[in-house]
Each structure stands twice: as C-alpha cells, then as structure tokens.
Amino acid sequence: MAVLNVNGKAMDHNAAPDTPLLWVLREQLGLTGTKYGCGIAQCGSCTVLIDGAPMRSCHVPVKGVAATAKITTIEGLAANGKLTKIQEAWVASDVPQCGYCQSGMIMAATALLAAKPNPTDADIDAAMTNICRCGTYQQVREAIHAAAKA
C-alpha cells in the first residue's frame, strides 16, 4: 500500500510502482476527471498539478511521486462548491464543447495564471499546448484573459 496526497487528502492505493499516475487517479482513487487521451504526454488531457507544476500524469510513474507531493486534480479546484475564478471564466465564456480535454486545459491554465497573473497571448501560446479537437482555443484564450482580470 502506498500513499498519495491528492487534493489535500492522503489516499491509499495498491497500484504497481510503474503504473502511471493517471491510471492510479482514475482506477484506484476514482478521480475520473483527469482524462486519458494519448498516453505519451502529447495531448495534455491528463494534466494535473504536482506541487503546483503542470504535469502530464500519463507519463508520471506513481513510484516517482512522493507521498508528500501535493497533487491537485480538476476535482480539487472548486472548494465547497465554489468554482475557482478560472472555472468561472470557463463557464462565463461557455468554453467546453465535448469537454473531454477541458480538465487538462483548466489545470494548465491554473498553473499558467499562478506563474503569470497577467499572461500575454504569447504566454498563453507557450503554456497552453494541450490539444482540443473540438477547437475551443479561441474561447480558452478569452477565458484565460478574463480570469486574469477577475
């Protein structure tokens, strides 16, 4: 049995050490908001924060995540039902279409705004490398700027 610190809670799991964090979150801890898209750290659907840094959890073996490392998933953003300003901006801009990539988008945007509270378009281009097949990029950009102003 190993322990992870997820969304402020210590959570036990018994996954093999090489198992990607993504599948531990999804299949052992029941946190299905983090999505499987490619398994090779390309698409960003599986993005979570580890100690505040955006990480593609499909490529992070769970053995490499310390029990003390603070993992934040999409489920850990809203506190007591109150959405973060980024989530609120996403709602206000009606960003998601199919929505499958949006957990990863929001986690990447959360990390971006933590590092750069007023990002330029170039900052957004550089940080937001997640793939969205529905093509929500224009609304994602709009929502990030709106959240920065909120």
The nearer residue to another protein, 134 or 146, going by C-beta atoms, is: 134
Exactly one of 55, 96, 110, 113 binds another protein (CB under 8 A); which one? 96
Binding part of the chain for another protein, among 49-57, 67-75, 111-119 by CB under 8 A, reads: 67-75
Q: What is the DSSP string of the chain?
A: -EEEEETTEEEEE---TTSBHHHIIIIIS--TTS--S-SSSSS-TTEEEETTEEEEGGGSBGGGS-TTSEEE-GGGTSBTTBPPHHHHHHHHTT--SS-TTHHHHHHHHHHHHHH-SS--HHHHHHH-----SS--HHHHHHHHHHHHH-
- Under rule CB under 8 A, which residues in 23-42 are in contact with another protein? 23, 26-28, 30-40, 42
The distance of closest approach from Cβ of residue 140 to another protein in the complex, given in angstroms and rounded to an integer, is 7
What is the rounded CA–CA span in Å between residue 97 and residue 29? 26
The distance of closest approach from Cβ of residue 92 to another protein in the complex, given in angstroms and rounded to an integer, is 9
Query: Under the criterion CB under 8 A, does residue 61 sit at the interface with another protein?
Result: no
**Taking the CA of residue 146 as centre, how many other CA atoms within 13 Å lie in the half-sphere pointing to its CB?**
18
The distance of closest approach from Cβ of residue 86 to another protein in the complex, given in angstroms and rounded to an integer, is 9
Query: Under the criterion CB under 8 A, does residue 123 sit at the interface with another protein?
Result: no
Tokens, residue 32: 């299905």
Query: Under the criterion CB under 8 A, does residue 59 sit at the interface with another protein?
Result: no
Angle 16-3-53 from CA coordinates, rounded to 5°: 95
Binding part of the chain for another protein, among 49-57, 71-79, 111-119 by CB under 8 A, reads: 71-79
The nearer residue to another protein, 43 or 68, going by C-beta atoms, is: 43
Binding part of the chain for another protein, among 49-57, 63-71, 111-119, 125-133 by CB under 8 A, reads: 125-133
